[in-house]
Structure 1
Amino acid sequence: MDGDCGALLPRVLKVLADPTFDIPDDTCLEKLLDWLQDQARLEDAQSLVQEHPCIPHFISAVCTSESPDAAILAFAVKFTGILAANEGAFLRLDETGVIRMVFGCEEGIMKEMWEDPSVRSAWLHGLGGLVQHERGLRFFCESGLNRVALECQHDKSLFVTSGANNLLAHILNFACLPQCEESVQGDVTCRSAWDRLTVDIVKHISDTLSSDAQFQRRQALKLLALTLPGCRRPLLDRLWAAVLGPLELQIKMEPNSLVLPVMETLEAASRTDLFGQSDARIEDLIEAMLTSGDPNKVIQSASAIIHLEQCSESLKRKALDFILQPLLLISSSSTDTPSPVNGDSVKVHRAVLEGQLTQKSTCVPLLSLSLTSVSKLTSMEFQFMEIPEQLVIGAVMELLWMCLGESKTSTHLIGCSRLQRCCLDALSNLSTCQGGSAIRKNVLEALYHCLRNPDSEPTVLQKSLQAVLKWICVGSYSSELTEFLSQDLFPVLKRRVCDVQWEVRDSTLEFITQLSAHFTDNSVYRELLDCSGILPLLLASAEDGESYVRASAIAALGQAVTTLGPQGVQDPQSGLQDDVVTRLMTILAEDSEGFSRRAVVKVFTSWLKYQDSPPGLDLHGVLSLGSDDLDWEVKMYTLELAEALINKSLGLSFPNEPSPGPERPDVTEAQKKLEENRVLPVLLKNLFDYDRPVAHKACQLLLRLREDLGLTAGSCDSVEATAILGGGQSAEEMVKTWLKKRANSKSTSASESLQKTPDRTAGACVAASDWPTKLSFWELLNCLDLELRAQTLSLSSDHVVTSPRSLMEDILSAAQQSEDNMVDCY
């Protein structure tokens, strides 16, 4: 433990033990406990107790207090559990009576404070630490704490029941823990204690599963799901035999509102040695989950079954039939569905389905669940077995047509946005299926009708655009796709860019950006985009009243310039390039919202990375405006632009370009290019920025620049100081400090032309004569102590405030303030 923290700890614990102390914020206790837990982990907990007697004194003082604060008591109990996890510390605390004082919940202060759920939760949390070794387990058993823990498993507080479940699961799996297995097998007393505990817990789980209280059954299922993965024979066999009957009754119960907890339990059981054992009947129970009368519960179970790795292919196929059946029925495609494995059960289920699908109140949730399950399956690259994937895609499209009112059946689904969103999500994921290119035209037609539908909600339109993008990318480019883009997509995009809802305009502009990025190297698309009439609308959208829309329009313009390339925007006749550059510079200088200004700098950076910068672009002006911006993110993006300029000047590669040869660039030539765009003054200015991320980024770039240029004391010539420094006040101070150190050193080998700067008087400005007339890159970067500055800037801005010492000082300060307030009252 740090010496300063060790000196403060006794005072802090004394303050916390004072019943008159009012805690200003409970989070300080959580942070202090986290730190103490780290100390117990880093150091031996037994040594921690021995070297700091204030710790057991604090715990005793809190537990013997007449009216302790519940938060302080909970803190003390958890802290005791952390220490007691170490067997040596447990013995030392047990000798002083602290263990019995803390965990004896039926006597003393614990009995008085037991009604507070935070105290009960802390008690269970502390016991979780105590039973990490055989001595702690024996204490737990001999003290009769098992009964209380089992009662807590039925507690009304979810925090308490969660703590009880974790504790009981740990005890059941105690013999399987590496550090405890030898004790249980070799120590008769420990083995006997553990056996007695497991008998009580197993009986408790079995009885609870048979109870009428749904909340208690849910908690028992959670406890089973926690226990089974780590459980070993022979306890595993005994536990499963005890719960098998109640589980079967729970599965057959109607209505079954615990489908998900039951499936989680069966999933946990399937990962044990019981799976495949005939008398365990795990797969039979899993299959029985598909016979529930409620189709929604059946689909939930079926979706979980498909995710089980150990289940047989036949059971997974049956589960898939149940997932797809609502979708295939409503789309009138069920007659084409391959025969299910178990026809009788599916037919019974179908009779229930047909009744629910005719009513909107039951139809929409059922179909939404089916579509969501299909989306999950495709996202995990699931194969639909013998069922043709085109059949599934066709069913989803048919349902989408129904929602759009383009079908004569199921008119009760017209205009249902919830189903439209689910259909679009499913279609997006199904674009990865094999054979998608064969039906791409049909899918795009359905999506086009979603886009042109005037009643489509913004979220529906956004999902439609994303689905269009996914399906456009399916297969190769064809004349069919050209026709869709020119005659269908671009006209509807032009209307949507001018939509009255800003969310629609924003989504459309984002889509145009993504579409142009995908077809950057496609000459046919470039021609279509150039002739579409969209570009003038993008320019107009850059002046939209909504800042989000302006930012999206700027990104779309930037990508359009990149996509059109020499064949389009750089055509002298078009004038588009000059218009875009002029508009973007105006936005950077005048726009009141940071979103738009950030987008401008990002566009310029993208141009510089992946193509030659436009002739009319004043990079020095961009750097100057960006580094002076009040928005710290604009400054960060400006530094990324400066980094791109550095790469360009040094001839280095960008992420998507091949790496250049190992030769270093010509230092003089690179320095000249950087000076032309005034890159170094920008970096120096941002090096001393008030926003830490900005300063850190600038420091990293300066360090990298020094390394990439291979600068040493004699590697570059001195130039005019003002050409490098740019008049930065903070940079001047750093240079003066370095000059003073140099003048006082014995070495006289470096830069004889630099003269010692006289001390500045208070409040005086730096005179021009104080500056060196000549300065080199190496001399400047060397004097800035960049390594030390980078180390300082890498620390979080609150690293001092969040340190344990600061935390303890805050607690002491709060205590002092409380005392002062009491004095004021008198």
Structure 2
Amino acid sequence: MDSECSRLLPALCAVLADPRQPVTDDTCLEKLLDWFKTVAEAESSLLLLQENPCLVELLSHTLKSQDMSARVLSFSLRLAGIFAAQENCFQYLQQGELMLGLFGEAGPVGLPAWSVPSVRSGWIQGLCSLAQHPSAEQFLVDCGAVDTLFSLQGDSSLFVASAASQLLAQALSLSLQGRDTPQLGSQDSDWPSCARSIVGHLEEALRSRATPQVTQALKVLTTTFGRCHHPWTQALWMQLSPLVTCLLEKDPIPAAHSVADLFLTMARSPVFASSDCDLWVMLVRTLSRLSPTQAGPLALGVCKLHVCPLALRTQAFDVLLQPMACILEAAAQPPGPSDLLDGTRGSSSMADTLLASTSSCAGLLCQSLAHLGELQPLSHSPRPWPQAPLLEATLATLRFCNGSAVPLSSVGVRLCGILAGCVRVQRAALDFLAALSQGTGSPDLVMKVSAVLLEYLRSPDSSPMVLKKAFQATLQWLLTTSQAGGSCDPSPHSQPFIGELFPVMQKRLCSPCWEVRDSALEFLTHLTAHWGGQPGFRQALLASDAPELAKQLLRDPEGYVRASAVAAMGQLAARGLHASSAHPEQPGAQQKHLLPELMDILSSDSEGFPRRAVMQVFTAWLRDGHAEVAQDPERFMAGVFQVVGQDLDWEVRLQGLELAGVFLAQVLGPPACPYAAAPPTAAPSVQLAEVLRALGRVRVLEFAFHTLFDCDRPVARKSCDLLLLLRARTAPDSRLQGAGRCPDTAAVEATLQAWQEGKQGQPLGELGPEVVVAVLWMLDLEGLQATLAESSDHVEQSPQSLLQDMLATAAALDDHEADCY
């Protein structure tokens, strides 16, 4: 610790110890703790306390004060734990019974402040910090901390309760550290006192009839087996496994989710995966005993295990498939197929859960669909992926939800009533249907998928989110079927489907709900991006009113919709597809009208999203050589930067620099290859000078210099990168560099200085090539780039300044409080 900080510490400790001195900011105390932790890790904590006795005095005052604020008390407890993490410092604090007073039963546990969760949390965090060495093990027992932790496991604060369980697991690991013999635990006397106390509590909790106590014990075990992979964990499990086994005999199983978490944690541990324990047998038993909803997460975890008996993984896979098998059985016509989902049939308990209520049915189906969606891309499925049956089951689920199913069984009829209009299940099923597009399917199944998707897209009952999911699933299936055919064109099976999509899109583009209009525009944009060059798609699109409707939405009252309309029209225009439906044979008929309209949005739209979308479209147009931009690039750029230079949205300015970078790359041409056999030939100075003049005429230079000092860091960084690139490309011309002392640079330098100081400054105007190069070399662009690359708190925040700020804040608040009277 430096001398200046040591000089400031006594005053700060006095402020913290005085309850009349307000400490306003918890963040400052957190920073102070972080600093002390850093110092303690780098130096001797004992020496630190001996050289700064005010710290010990602060901790001692914590014991005596009855009116210390909760935040300072919590801070002191955590600070004491940081120092006591080193064993010699722990013993030094123990000599004056300071540790026992802070963490013992006579300490803050008996103070009124103990009712504040932050104090209880600080007490636990302090003990977590000091529980690092053998001396701390016996201390935890002697001071009564272990017993207090047992009670805090049921704390009303979830943070405190969770921290208590974590600390118990840490204390158990500390007490058994280095004891690797599997025979540990053959007799109670073999266990250290701290471990005996904790294990005894766990045994008592596991025998309890109260589910919360069972849950608490299981959480400690789960944390222990997740953190510790030592042989002593086998001995611990051998002692406690009979009690956990007894839980599986109860109906229902108490704390079932916690039991599943424990077994999964053990299965992931190399200690148990390679041992001869009966873990796999218990997992088999647990999967068969849990309710369908409880078994799902455990089954998913088992299916993801790489080291696991095949029979167990197959059983877990069947558990995940059973809800879909029930759906298939309910949708089948009597007598129904005899073999569903590769032999998997729905169990009676599964059917009971599905038919119990809408909430239980929806919960089970959504869980099953989500879990199967996670397994679908994995390569180590226990048996072949049942693509076709799962597709049938997913489509049946969607039909049950929208009422289009015609079930002939009583179960199917009940499911129609339970799932009718269930948005939650519809969203989950559409997500899974999109995931299933990555598999294979017969043409008949693909046609069934198309039919169901069209039902949802056409239905007036489909909610906005369901419609969005339906659009996304439709796009995925169209893309997959095209790729499967080995062509960029839509597959022959998809062509009629695409033709039926346009009337749906037209209807959705006119929806009174803005989310629906937005989703339809996004879908139109993606379709055009993928198939805008294909004749069949172009003909169907131009024969519809979709382009004209999308153009009308450029003036939509909702900003998100206007932004999506800009993106859609930009994509249509790039493909020459935004002609009116009356003139489909003239794809460029209305193209000349789009650029002014987008420029109007850029200059006058009150929301940032549409303006950002316009800039993204302009950048794509310039990069791709769009016809209207290519006619006169300089005029286009000058018009854009006249507007963008005044925009207050930093993302618009950032996109403006992206546009400037594309223009710069085009006027400069490709850079010389650094691996070429012959040295690159420098471009003539006339050519470079003309490039710089062009950049000045289109206002790119003034925009880049101005944004170099932008208050938004990403903008300034992008500008710096752009100017560095420009300087690197103009560097070979020594005649342009020779103007470094040009008198014209003085005015430019003054303007840049004003901009850097946040002042308006004079516009740069048109700059000569020599002046531009001189300014580029005059600026310390590398230094600015390094500064901008630093984090947002790169300004010095030393421990000294932190201490000074806390002292100054306390003094200011004290003066303000006095003025009130």
Partner of 1:504: 516
- Return the alpha-carbon distance in structure 2 between the equivalents of residues 725 and 433 of structure 1: 67
Question: Partner amino acid for 1:373?
Answer: H
Q: 245-254 vs 198-207, which deviates more?
A: 245-254
Q: Is residue 238 of structure 2 the alignment partner of residue 241 of structure 1?
A: yes
Aligned with residue 463 of structure 1, among 464, 469, 477: 469
State the match for 1:404 in structure 2: 402
Instruction: Indicate which of 682, 694, 705 corresponds to 2:703.
Output: 682
1:598 and 2:612 matched = yes
Give the Å deviation of 1:361.
Answer: 5.0
- Equivalent position of 2:367 in the other structure: 369
Cα distance change, pair 562–719 in 1 and its aligned pair in 2 (3 A): farther
| Structure 2 match to 1:636 | 654
Residue of structure 2 aligned with 1:778, choices 765, 773, 777: 773
Q: CA deviation at 1:371?
A: 1.9
Residue of structure 1 equivalent to 2:432: 426
Q: Quick one: which of 323, 328, 343 aligns to 2:325? A: 328
Q: Distance in 2 between matches of 1:171 and 1:789?
A: 50
TM-score, length of structure 2 as denominator length: 0.85
- Deviations along 1:302-325, one digit per CA (max 9) or x if unpaired, are 333323333322222222222222
Identity among equivalent pairs (%)? 33
**CA shift at 1:401, angstroms?**
1.9
Structure 1 residue aligned with 2:563? 551
The Cα shift of 1:444 comes to 1.9
The verdict on how the C-alpha distance between 1:696 and 1:199 changes in structure 2, with shifts beyond 3 A counting, is same
Alignment match, 2:278 = 281
2:185 alignment counterpart: none
* Aligned AA (1:426): F
Q: Which moved more, 1:449-458 or 1:41-50?
A: 41-50
Q: Secondary structure at the match of 2:337?
A: helix
Counterpart-to-counterpart distance in 2, 1:67 and 1:522: 79
Distance 2:761 2:562 in 1: 43
**Shift in CA distance, 84/71, structure 1 to aligned 2, threshold 3 Å:** same
Q: For residues 267-292 of structure 1, what are the alpha-carbon distances to aligned partners after superposition, in whole Å with 9 as ceiling and x for unaligned?
A: 11113356468873212221222333
Please report how far the alpha carbon of residue 138 of structure 1 lies from its aligned counterpart in structure 2 after TM superposition: 3.8
Which of residues 298, 302, 307 is equivalent to 2:304? 307
Tell me by how many angstroms 1:524 deviates: 4.3
Counterpart CA distance in 2 for 1:786 and 1:274 is 56
Contact 2:247 2:254 in 1 (8 A): no
Q: Which sections of structure 2, spanning at least 5 residues, go unmatched?
A: 183-187, 408-412
- Does structure 2 conserve the Cα–Cα contact (< 8 Å) formed by 1:206 and 1:242? no
| 1:675-718 Cα shifts (integer Å, max 9, x gaps) | 34231111112123343432332223212322243367645475
Change (3 A) 1:224 1:728: same
Partner SS, residue 480 of structure 1: coil
Name the amino acid aligned to 1:286. L
What corresponds to 1:445 in structure 2?
451
Are the counterparts in 1 of residues 555 and 562 from structure 2 also a CA contact under 8 Å?
Answer: yes
Q: d(CA) in 2 for partners of 1:787 and 1:339? A: 63
Please name the residue that 1:651 is paired with: 669
Q: CA deviation at 1:376?
A: 2.3
Which of the numbers 214, 220, 224 marks the counterpart of 1:223? Answer: 220
Write out per-residue CA displacement over residues 343-398 of structure 1, whole angstroms, 9 at most, x where no aligned residue.
Answer: 9xx77x32661574375454333322222222222254564724531111111012
User: Which amino acid letter does the alignment assign opposite residue 335 of structure 1?
Assistant: P
What is the deviation of 1:619?
Answer: 1.1
Distance 1:792 1:581 in 2: 39
- Distance in 2, Cα, partners of 1:463 & 1:46: 62
Quick check: 460-469 or 119-128, which moved more? 119-128
Q: CA deviation at 1:7?
A: 4.3
Aligned 8 A contact 1:713 1:779 in 2: no
* Corresponding residue SS for 2:439: coil
Task: Indicate if the aligned counterparts of 1:19 and 1:69 stay in contact, CA closer than 8 A.
Answer: yes
**Structure 2 partner of 1:201:** 198
Q: Where does residue 23 of structure 2 map in the other structure?
A: 23
* Mapped contact 1:82–1:129 kept (Cα < 8 A): yes
**1:259 aligns with one of 234, 240, 256:** 256
Q: 1:492 to 1:725 in 2, by over 3 A?
A: farther
Cα offset, 1:441, TM superposition: 2.8
Q: In 2 relative to 1, CA 195–447 (structure 1 residues): closer, same or farther, beyond 3 Å?
A: same
Check the 8 A contact 1:720/1:774 in 2, yes or no: no
Q: Assess if the C-alpha contact under 8 Å between 2:644 and 2:653 holds in 1.
A: yes
Task: Map 1:752-763 onto structure 2 (within 5 A).
Answer: none
Q: What are the residue-to-residue correspondences of 1:434-583 with 2, within 5 Å?
A: 434-435=440-441, 439-474=445-480, 475-476=484-485, 477-481=489-493, 483-519=495-531, 522=534, 524-564=536-576, 574-583=588-597
Contact kept, 8 Å, 2:16 with 2:72, in 1: the verdict is yes
For the 8 Å contact 1:228–1:236, the answer to whether it is kept is yes
Residues 242 and 158 of structure 1: is their aligned pair in 2 closer, same or farther, counting only changes over 3 Å?
farther
Q: TM-score, normalised by structure 1?
A: 0.85
Question: 2:410 — aligned with what?
Answer: none
The answer to which of 582-591 and 22-31 deviates more is: 22-31
**Structure 1 contact 323–370 (Cα < 8 Å) conserved:** yes
Q: Aligned partners of 1:570 and 1:806: how far apart in 2?
A: 70
Tell me the residue number matched to 1:748: none
Matched residue, 1:691: 712
Within a 5 Å distance, the mapping from 1:153-232 to structure 2 comes to 153-174=153-174, 195-231=192-228
1:550-597: CA deviations, max 9, x gaps?
000101111222344999999987233212212111111111111111
Query: Residue 268 of structure 1 corresponds to which residue in structure 2?
Result: 265
Q: Is the counterpart of residue 615 in structure 1 residue 627 in structure 2? A: no
Structure 1 position 170, deviation (Å): 1.5
Paired position in structure 2 for 1:39 = 39
User: What are the superposed Cα offsets for residues 2-51 of structure 1, whole Å, 9 maximum, x if unpaired?
Assistant: 66555433322221111212232333322322233233334454454344
Letter in 1 for 2:510: C
Inter-partner Cα distance in structure 1 for 2:668 and 2:575: 26
CA distance in 1, matches of 2:400, 2:762: 77
Say if 1:570 and 1:339 are closer, same or farther in 2 by CA, change over 3 A: closer
Matched, 1:824 2:815: no
Q: How far off is 1:124 after superposition?
A: 1.8
Are the counterparts in 1 of residues 433 and 473 from structure 2 also a CA contact under 8 Å? yes
C-alpha deviation, 1:150, in angstroms: 3.2
Residue 493 (structure 1) shift: 1.0
Equivalenced residues, count: 783
SS across alignment from 1:247: helix
Q: Does structure 1 retain, via aligned residues, the 8 Å contact 2:234–2:272?
A: no
SS in 1 for 2:376: helix
Once the two structures are overlaid, the 10-residue window that deviates more, 778-787 or 125-134, is 778-787
Whether the 8 Å contact between 2:647 and 2:653 is mirrored in structure 1 is: yes
The amino acid of 1:607's aligned partner reads W
Partner residue in 1 for 2:723: 702
**CA shift in 2, pair 1:382/1:278, >3 Å:** closer
1:466-507 per-position Cα deviation (integer Å, ceiling 9, x unaligned):
101111111234552552354211221121111110000011
Q: Quick one: distance in 2 between partners of 1:537 and 1:482? A: 24
Cα 1:72/1:561, change in 2 over 3 Å: same
- Report deviation, 1:424: 0.2
**Structure 1 residues 652 and 203: alpha-carbon distance in aligned structure 2, compared to 1, 3 A threshold:** farther
Deviations 1:187-207 (A, max 9, x none): xxxx99972211221221121
Structure 1 residues 478 and 462: CA distance shift in structure 2, 3 A: closer
Q: Check 1:804–1:257 CA distance in 2 against 1; reply closer, same or farther (3 A cut).
A: farther
Deviations 1:765-824 (A, max 9, x none): 9999xx999843331112233233334444555554966555434422332133224533
**2:140–2:194 CA contact under 8 A, matched in 1:** no
Of residues 483-492 and 277-286 in structure 1, the stretch that sits farther from structure 2 once superposed is: 277-286
